[in-house]
Chains A and B, each alone.
Chain A
């Protein structure tokens, strides 16, 4: 029933789009991470005005579907802001992924920051560090260690979500499979190939995560008491 030869033939065609999928994911991840760190610090330090703005931002991007957000950026925004007419599908997808996942990552990064023991803040202040120095030198490095395994989860999520870029007319793995299937009518084989490639990529990432977790545990510092 399944045409294995067709699948074998299709595999290299789809694999050519792995770099695009992976590139979109990495780019969105970096953007989301930077934005999430900024949002989390604003939230933790309760910086006036910025804190409220960050709250609305996080609430909106967590409270609406990613697909709706992508359509808003790609199809909606150009009608309001002419500069967005020139936006291409890849850019719109990466922008949407960045903002969407930044909102999620900001909240879990905030949790990681608040999880750092209170005496670490006090010790940093007591040696005369400013709030910024305390955050950069003492708190964020400790929060990052807790956050690292979770980060892989988010990356997996982003990687899989790049497939939505196909709804903005981007020919990535999913888009390529759709085109092939439309010609050959072999929908099952085509999408199965895409699924398997995603699955393998995510499996590899899960191994990386497990390794990260073991490493974190070994270097776990826990409290400061012996």
Chain B
């Protein structure tokens, strides 16, 4: 699989103790593609994303991003770091650095990880903040931002890294309904700008309208995948059908 995919997982398997969570995942994401992963709770969707950048370590499987391919079971510290530096991650809980302002949250990875000069990183952070309409909140700490604003900064922090792959773990699930719209709008812009991304989401509207491909997971395996119009209008697997009937 590797070589042609922008990013891929091959045979990814993950157990928590004795409980298998991922039972052999194969997934190939094209460069510039936006893949939405849907499925019931507790089915391993978030674990899949977290294994991709080694927030969790899978017991088996290959992880590929661009020309870098590592074995998740045996990856060294350096390989883990290399994978992480090709990815950006957006958390359900936002996870903004609590001791940093909005601008510093965005600039931090650029200066500390990429070695960009502070002034240049600040300028880049400000340009992203202007772009997402939050320049006036540049010096605010996360505790003084609304949930929607925090998540937009979380996405901005990921955008700044110009990563080969952006992973978004239920980015709107923790939000009050009033903030969901602005976050989805920003995600749409990121996708339309050609960012390769994998989004675990409960927002069927997003999966349907913005994703290039929808992946349905259940019980630690990919049950079915395809273009959104087909998955939503003509699912082949009974489990997909049952799930979509429940949520739509």
Judge whether A226 and B112 touch: CB under 8 Å: no
For B161, list chain A residues within 8 Å (CB): 127-128
With both chains docked as a complex, state the minimum distance between the C-beta of B102 and any C-beta of chain A, in angstroms: 12
Whether, in the assembled complex, A120 has its beta carbon less than 8 Å from a beta carbon of chain B, the answer is: yes
Q: Which of B58-110 contact A (CB under 8 A)?
A: 81, 84-85, 87-89, 91, 93-99, 108-109
For A219, list chain B residues within 8 Å (CB): 141
Judge whether A119 and B85 touch: CB under 8 Å: no
Judge whether A123 and B97 touch: CB under 8 Å: yes
> With A125-B55, A224-B142 in contact, do A120 and B95 touch (Cβ < 8 Å)?
yes
Whether, in the assembled complex, A41 has its beta carbon less than 8 Å from a beta carbon of chain B, the answer is: no
Q: Which of B123-179 contact A (CB under 8 A)?
A: 141-143, 145-147, 149-150, 157, 161, 174
For A117, list chain B residues within 8 Å (CB): 95, 98
Whether, in the assembled complex, A129 has its beta carbon less than 8 Å from a beta carbon of chain B, the answer is: yes
Distance, CA A226 to CA B175, complexed state (A): 10
Distance, CA A129 to CA B143, complexed state (A): 23
User: Which residue from B91, B99, B113, B174 sits with its C-beta under 8 Å from A221?
Assistant: B99
> With A126-B89, A127-B109, A128-B85 in contact, do A225 and B98 touch (Cβ < 8 Å)?
no
> With A137-B108, A226-B143 in contact, do A127 and B81 touch (Cβ < 8 Å)?
no
> With A128-B85, A129-B113, A137-B108 in contact, do A120 and B97 touch (Cβ < 8 Å)?
yes
> With A125-B55, A138-B99, A145-B99 in contact, do A224 and B94 touch (Cβ < 8 Å)?
yes
For B142, list chain A residues within 8 Å (CB): 221, 224, 226
> With A122-B55, A126-B55, A127-B157 in contact, do A222 and B143 touch (Cβ < 8 Å)?
yes
Whether, in the assembled complex, B53 has its beta carbon less than 8 Å from a beta carbon of chain A, the answer is: yes
With both chains docked as a complex, state the minimum distance between the C-beta of B176 and any C-beta of chain A, in angstroms: 9
Judge whether A128 and B141 touch: CB under 8 Å: no
With both chains docked as a complex, state the minimum distance between the C-beta of A27 and any C-beta of chain B, in angstroms: 29
For B93, list chain A residues within 8 Å (CB): 119, 224-225
What sequence of 0s and 1s flags, for each residue 122-166 of chain A, a beta carbon within 8 Å of any chain B beta carbon? Answer: 111111111001000110011001000000000000000000000
For A220, list chain B residues within 8 Å (CB): 143
Q: Which of A186-204 contact B (CB under 8 A)?
A: none
With both chains docked as a complex, state the minimum distance between the C-beta of A131 and any C-beta of chain B, in angstroms: 9
**Chain B contact patch, size range:** 20 to 34
For B146, list chain A residues within 8 Å (CB): 226
With both chains docked as a complex, state the minimum distance between the C-beta of A148 and any C-beta of chain B, in angstroms: 13
With both chains docked as a complex, state the minimum distance between the C-beta of A127 and any C-beta of chain B, in angstroms: 4
Distance, CA A133 to CA B149, complexed state (A): 26
Please give me the residue from chain B that is nearest to A220 by CB atom.
Answer: B143
**Chain A contact patch, size range:** 20 to 34
Distance, CA A118 to CA B96, complexed state (A): 12
For B174, list chain A residues within 8 Å (CB): 225
Interface-centre pick from B84, B85, B97, B147 (highest chain A CB count, 10 A): B97
User: Which residue from B53, B89, B95, B112 sits with its C-beta under 8 Å from A129?
Assistant: B112
With both chains docked as a complex, state the minimum distance between the C-beta of B205 and any C-beta of chain A, in angstroms: 24
Judge whether B84 and A125 touch: CB under 8 Å: yes
Distance, CA A137 to CA B85, complexed state (A): 17
With both chains docked as a complex, state the minimum distance between the C-beta of A220 and any C-beta of chain B, in angstroms: 7
Interface-centre pick from A122, A126, A141 (highest chain B CB count, 10 A): A126
Judge whether A127 and B88 touch: CB under 8 Å: yes
Please give me the residue from chain B that is nearest to A139 by CB atom.
Answer: B99
Distance, CA A98 to CA B142, complexed state (A): 37
For A125, list chain B residues within 8 Å (CB): 53-55, 84
For B53, list chain A residues within 8 Å (CB): 125-126
With both chains docked as a complex, state the minimum distance between the C-beta of B246 and any C-beta of chain A, in angstroms: 28
Judge whether B88 and A119 touch: CB under 8 Å: no
Distance, CA A117 to CA B94, complexed state (A): 12
17 residue pairs A–B, Cβ–Cβ below 8 Å: A123-B97, A125-B54, A127-B84, A127-B88, A127-B108, A127-B112, A127-B157, A128-B109, A129-B113, A133-B113, A137-B112, A138-B97, A142-B99, A221-B98, A222-B98, A224-B96, A225-B147
What 8 pairs across the A-B complex have the smallest Cβ distances? Answer: A127-B109, A126-B89, A119-B95, A128-B85, A123-B95, A221-B98, A128-B113, A221-B143
| Residues in chain B within 8 A of chain A (CB atoms) | 53-55, 81, 84-85, 87-89, 91, 93-99, 108-109, 112-113, 141-143, 145-147, 149-150, 157, 161, 174
